[in-house]
Amino acid sequence: MDFRTIVITGASSGIGAALARSLAAPGRTLALLGRNAGRLEAVAAACRAKGATCMIASLDVSDTDALQAFLMEVGRETAIDLLIANAGILDGRSAGEAVERGSVARRVLETNLLATLDVVHLVLPAMQRNGRGSIVLVASLASLVPLPDAPAYSASKAGLLSYGLALRDAVAAEGIRVVVACPGFVATAMADRHLGPRPGEISADDAASRILTGLRRNRGMVGFPFVPFWLSRLSLLVPEAIRRRGMKNTRFHVGP
């Protein structure tokens, strides 16, 4: 993959950090965004050790002004070839609650969906002018199987999946590739808030490898692991009573 300038949001840990390390190479510039400055600098140091040039910004992707200023700085010298929109949060019902609070739902949707769309549209116009570019949106298998313990998280990821697949068709003729990744359970710091079963959990490095393979092959949707992905795709065709029975052993709540 001939990417020279790469932007990764949510790069301070988990899948974003693993993607940064995988893509780091001589001649590449990585623009890494994350909320934890210390962890972000550690990821950048690992990428620089592999020969990459790194720019970092410790910010929240919902801070549109700061985000725009940083991306303008990145794009001032060279065109952004690849955007990986990975930043997101997991939240849902806490112990003793039947459903998440309204304030939680709003924060999840604003961070996971609306802020991600802001990132896309700060980068997309230059890609359209240049007639090339790639965008990866990191969604979740929850986009296919809504989680009763995290309705807003499920909705935010379903929105990303639908938006990404529609955008893929909209800009394909302009030389821009859009790929939506739908991981299952991945062992990350964010996933540690998920207090319940995590069947089929894989490492962040494994997830990054699968996402990049899907990008190389220009797949519209990259879902994994294989069996949970296909069970998820088929789940909405299953009668509700059977689906509820199957979900019973995956109920969870979020920790602090």
The secondary structure element, H or E, covering residue 8 is: strand 5-8
Active site residue ranges: 153
Pairing state of beta strands 194-195 and 253-254? antiparallel
> What backbone phi and psi angles, to 5 degrees, belong to 124?
-60, -45
Under a CB-based contact definition with an 8 Å cutoff, are residues 150 and 107 in contact? no
Q: Give the span between the Cα atoms of 15 and 204, in whole angstroms.
A: 5
Under a CB-based contact definition with an 8 Å cutoff, are residues 92 and 196 in contact? no
Q: Give the span between the Cα atoms of 94 and 189, in whole angstroms.
A: 18
